[in-house]
Amino acid sequence: MTSSRTQWLLRSYGFAVYAFLYTPIAMLVLLSFNDSTAITLPWGGFTLRWYWALAENQSLFVSLKNSVILGLATAMLATTIGCLAAFAFRYRFRGQVVLMRVLLLPLVIPGLTIGVALLLLFHAAGVRPGLLTTTLVAHVGFALPYVFVLISTRLHRFDESLEEAAMDLGADELTTFWQITFPLIRPGIIGSALFAFTLSFDEFIRTLFTIGNDNTLPIQIWSMLGSMVSPELNATATLIVVVSVGLVVLGELFRGTDPVMGAIKKAREERP
Amino acid sequence: MTVTRRRFLETLGRGGLSASLMGGGVLGAWGAMNAAAQSALPGPLRIHGNPIATRDKDMKPFREQYGVELQIQLSVTHTETVTRIYSGATQQFDLFTLQHPFIKKLAQDRMILPIEEDKIPNIGNLYEHLRRPDWGVHEGRLYALPYLWGFDSIVYNQKQIPKVDSWGVLFEDTYRGRVAWRDDPLQMILTAALYMQKFSNPNNLSEAELAEVKKFLISRKKNIRTMWTTYAEAVNLLRSEEVFALWGWLPMATSLRKEGMQTEYAFPKEKPIMWFTNYIVSKDSRVLPTVWAFLDYTLGDKFTMSLTEDFDYRMGSSRQLKLLSPERIERIGLTNVSALVANSYTYLMPDHLDKYVQTWAEVKAAAI
Amino acid sequence: MAVQSQEAKADRQSPQFLQPAARTSWRVGVLAFLHRVGWLKLLLFLLPALVLLTVYLVIPIIMLVVMSFYKSTMFGVVPDFSWRNYQHFASSTLFVGLLGKSVRMAITVTVISLLVSYPFAYFLARVPVRFKTALLILVMVPFWTSYLIRTMAWLPILGIKGVVNYSLLSLQIVSQPIEAFLFNEFSVILTLIHIYMPYMVVPIFLSLDRLDGRLLEAAGDLGANPLRAFWHVTLPLSMPGVVGGVVMVFIAAFGAYVTPKLIGGTSGIMFGNVLADQYSGTFNWPFGAVLALIMISVVLLLLVAASRITRLDAVFGVRA
């Protein structure tokens, strides 16, 4: 429908924005091969020593593992809780407006104050800080409003006639949800989960105050940046980028199709 | 038969994967179990410390010698460490690293244990001025084991600035736009106070004196390119020649010099700022024999020389004077230790740190 | 064979996957019960969020309010009810000025981010379905590298001896390197736009992605040209995403403190920096609490004002 010129314009623009997004990344990758202890230009020669240093730095891998685990846990929990809440909002009920504001309020509170408050709270309650206990609470609370916003935008004016049709055909509520509703909002859920993971993976300040004995990657990075030479951090960043992009490419190659969406698409295309 | 073998291999494989994920923890534990047969030190030893003091390469010899597991968490700032100590971290860690100004209060509040000097054979290695420092002694007992000391001053690019011997380079118009401060209230206010040379006790400025310093700093803000917060930023600024001189630490100069840059570390005539970093013992530690063994290790030659080699640091052990070449001793500035200490200004916490912080906030917020 | 009745035919035409799974009696019972006691179902849905919020929100806010009246000493906070901290905030015009500056910068970031992100989200929404997830992930990947080192990577790009200046000098567009690319408001705004781009792209994308190509076809059939179709059909339908993105980016940009610290030099400092200093330098938590409460109030005020003008609540499904 859109003219090919518009298509071309859109694609070029998309490419330009990706270029902007990846500019610092390109610089990071470049610097990870730079033979200099400073994480900046001028170019001191090509070297792989930062990658060797990374391979020997066990603690970095442990931190990375912790961050991934925490991120996945946050994504799952925040998306589930946020989904449930967003669904609740489809029904009219008393106090809806107030509750909505309350749900969004954590967005407004600076992370620093949340961190300190949680630290004091857990200390007073005698809860021992831990990666998948106190830190997880901090991360899920952090991600929840964002997930709520994202899923709500997807649910906004959701076409209920599809669900009603399914129920008329004899499906109960659970089946309707899984077979009809869920696939249609799935991009919203995937997007929110991805977003929640990203928020958690890069989160630093709330983590700093609520974590126990462990390190997450941002904490280790901040600590290393603060007291020593650490270009192996660039190697870490490059590795993260390469692995993620690699996974995406692999995922694309081995992708299956989705029966419901496929059927709906086909039905639409076949309509006269 | 085949099923069991396959299952066995699978488990091995998974074990191997998880070992690599845990950073060799499985294999490390295996090695530890063997070594532990020799000495019976309780473990694990949990340390919340500075990355410099807890590098893998320096921790490995201790781990291997005693077969004790080490759990290390990296600290970010000294005040954060203190916050956590008061919020229950004494139960999570056996040892902390901390700079000298905070030691006395922690000792008074009984959050840390005194050092059992008779359990540390190498204690005699300590430099003279580190044996009974004012800031580390409470009720006659030593509460901190200094492992590192030095002074803060100016790191500068000798190619661009031939010689720096005064704090003035950070404040005067001469190198306008090519110098940087550190974003730290205590250090920068103290530096300015030392430079202004008109206060009787720069470590404890009164409100009126703070206001004067504030005015001075705001008036000189136009001369700096930026302020740095992390070590890495400072090194970047110098290396990329974005600035020619900045308030900084010795290892910055050392590491850049290793790359062929002519960076020097100044000794300002208005006195550089001296500090001491220490290990302190948590009051709730349950592995004290291991703690003393570890502290003994940090005063030993291996630990001392490793850090000296890599960073040109002044370590806690005075054995440096015996083990280093005279040129190296001169480069590190250890030829006359007592003169060095006498000509430096040891910083302490002011009574009203919050006033310092608020002053600094106004300095940063002021439009130039 | 036997003649098939109408119902039998209809039954068979009901799509396979819509047949409920084996009807266990307890499941039917539970669903029916929930259907009758509607509010219970609602409560169950909202419960996890409410529990989390109590821990995450209610208690910290109470602590903030209480602590703002306390007194700070070097090693801790002492209960000592007084307005001292509030007075200190009011006494200096610098803080209020910085507040205004931060609001202004946050608005700039939000507006530019919206203008840049909207077409990009549109591009993502029009991409063939099979690539959408992959491209979306590719948008996120840069944000899995630590924002600390990512922000520091701007120095070799924008610095005096950085790539940009080097190019300008080589092409002889300028004769002296330009200092104004870095360590000021400009670099902070640029970096904030970069860092918070997903906050704007993802909600708008999710909103646009719902759109049916048929709606635009219909608009076209009714005589609208592509521009009018966009203005009257696409844009209004993507409003929820736009509003969500604007809110999230503004709040994040307003509260930023690491970015201005790393890359703001002397003139790019924002209000968040002063707040952060109260916690990292000392135990000036009471004053920090005052600053935090003021920040929260400013944002809430702006949000309330915005919701009067636009229909913010409707975005989140609140039926008017």
Give tens-digit pLDDT for C233-281. 788 878 888 988 998 999 999 988 889 999 999 888 999 888 888 776 5
Residue type, B356: Y
Using 50 as the pLDDT threshold, list the residues of chain B that sit under it.
1-38
Instruction: Give contacts of B80 with chain A, Cβ < 8 Å.
Output: 208
In this prediction, residue A109 carries a pLDDT of: 84
**How far is it, in rounded angstroms, from Cα C270 to Cα C187?**
13
B22 touches chain C (CB under 8 A): no
CA of C20 vs chain A CAs: smallest distance (Å)? 6
Put simply, the answer to whether B255 touches A36 (Cβ < 8 Å) is: no
More confident residue, A270 or B12: A270
Each residue's pLDDT tens digit, A148-182: 888 887 777 666 777 777 777 777 777 777 777 77
Contacts of C21 in chain A (CB under 8 A): 175
CA A256 to chain CA centroid, Å, is 23
Chain C positions touching A82 (Cβ under 8 A) are 49
Q: Tell me if C64 and A156 make a contact (CB, 8 A cut-off).
A: no
| DSSP structural state of residue B278 | E
CATH code, domain carrying A77? 1.10.3720.10
What value does the mean pLDDT of chain C take?
A: 80
Residue A39 lies in a domain: no
Chain C's closest residue to B180, CA to CA, is C265
* DSSP bridge pairs for B277: B99, B148
pLDDT at site B275: 93
Q: What are the tens digits of pLDDT across the range C6-16?
A: 544 444 555 55
| Identity of residue B306 | S
| Residue B218 sits at the chain C interface (C-beta within 8 Å) | no
Domain count within chain A: 1
Structure tokens at A148: 């709520």
CA distance A117 to chain B (A): 12
Q: Which residues of B touch C265 (CB under 8 A)?
A: 225-227
Q: How do residues C118-129 score in pLDDT, each as one tens digit?
A: 999 999 988 888
**Region of residue B126 (phi > 0: left; psi between -120 and 50: alpha; otherwise: beta):** beta
Distance, in angstroms, between C249 CA and closest chain A CA?
10
Q: Summarize pLDDT for A228-237 with one digit per residue, the tens.
A: 767 888 888 8
Interface probe with B: pick from A28, A31, A215, A225, most Cβ of B within 10 Å? A225
Q: Are the C-beta atoms of A78 and A144 separated by less than 8 Å? A: yes
Do residue A42 and residue C161 have CB atoms under 8 angstroms apart? Answer: yes
B175 touches chain C (CB under 8 A): no
Cα dist. C164→A216, C40, C182 in Å?
A: 34, 61, 11
What pLDDT was estimated at residue B11? Answer: 36
* A137, A171, A237 ranked by CB distance to C55: nearest: A137
As to burial, measured by CB atoms within 10 angstroms (0-12 exposed, 13-18 middle, 19+ buried), residue B127 is: buried
pLDDT value at residue A271: 53
Q: Is residue A205 included in any domain, yes or no?
A: yes
CB contact under 8 A, A226 and B88: no
Range(s) of the domain holding residue A112: 59-251
Binary contact (B21, A44; C-beta < 8 A): no
Q: Give the per-residue pLDDT at A97.
A: 75
Does C282 contact B354 at a Cβ distance shorter than 8 Å? yes
**B22 neighbourhood in chain A, CB within 8 Å:** 62, 65
The per-type count for chain A, helices as H runs and strands as E runs, is: 13, 0
Instruction: Using pLDDT thresholds of 50, 70 and 90, give the confidence band for residue A144.
Output: very high
Is the pLDDT score of A139 beyond 80? Answer: yes
Dist CA A80 CA A192 (whole Å): 10
Tokens of C315: 């975005």
Q: For chain C, what is the radius of gyration of the CA atoms?
A: 27
CB C290 within 8 A of CB C85: yes
Residues, chain C: 320
A244 CB neighbour count, 10 Å cutoff:
17
Reported as a pLDDT band with limits 50, 70 and 90, residue C63 is confident
Beta-strand relationship, B137-138 and B141-142: antiparallel
Alpha-carbon torsion (A74, A80, A82, A83), positive or negative: positive
Nearest to B73 among A119, A120, A213 (CB): A213
Contact C242, C204 (CB under 8 A): yes
Q: Do C161 and B241 touch (CB under 8 A)?
A: yes
**Which chains touch A (3+ CB pairs under 8 A)?**
B, C
**Could A153 and C240 be called an inter-chain contact, meaning their C-beta atoms sit closer than 8 Å?**
yes
Does any domain span residue A1?
no
Domains of chain B: 38-143+275-341 (3.40.190.10), 151-272+345-365 (3.40.190.10)
Instruction: List all residues 6 or more positions away from A131 whose beta carbon is below 8 Å from its beta carbon.
Output: A66, A69, A70, A211, A212, A214, A216
Is there a contact between A171 and C16 (Cβ–Cβ < 8 Å)?
no
Chain B residues within 8 Å of chain A (Cβ atoms): 20-24, 46, 50-52, 56, 71-77, 80, 83, 87-88, 91-93, 229-233, 235-236, 238-240, 251, 255-256, 258-259
Indicate whether A188 belongs to any domain. Answer: yes
pLDDT at B48: 93
The pTM of the full predicted model, rounded to 2 decimals, is: 0.81
pLDDT of residue B38: 45
For residue A170, what pLDDT is reported?
Answer: 73
pLDDT in tens, A1-33: 456 787 888 899 999 999 999 999 999 999 999
| Maximal C-alpha separation, chain A | 71
Residue C25 has pLDDT above 70, yes or no: no
pLDDT band, very low/low/confident/very high, at C313 (cuts 50, 70, 90): low
pLDDT at residue C282 greater than cutoff 70:
no
Domain covering C105-257 in this structure, CATH number: 1.10.3720.10
Q: Confirm whether A157 is domain-assigned.
A: yes
Average pLDDT over residues C58-74: 79
d(CA C230, nearest CA chain B) in Å = 44
Give me the residue from C63, C137, C198 closest to A120, CB to CB.
C63
Q: Does C29 touch chain A (CB under 8 A)?
A: no
Helix axes B250-258, B231-239, angle to 10 degrees: 40
Q: Which residues of B touch A214 (CB under 8 A)?
A: 73
pLDDT value at residue C210 = 73
Residue A224 confidence (pLDDT): 82
At residue B29, the pLDDT reads 39
- Partner-chain residue, chosen from C163, C292, C317, that has the shortest CB–CB distance to A155: C317
In single-letter form, the type of residue at position A191 comes to G
pLDDT of C45 over the 50 cut = yes
ipTM here: 0.82
| Site from C75, C176, C277 to mutate, B interface, most B CB atoms within 10 angstroms | C75
Partners of residue B246 in chain A, C-beta under 8 Å: none
Query: Distance between CA C248 and CA C255 in Å, rounded?
Result: 11
Task: Decide if A13 is inside a domain.
Answer: no
- Shortest alpha-carbon distance between residue B242 and chain C (Å): 6
Q: Which of B188, B211, B206, B209 is nearest to B347 (CA)?
A: B188
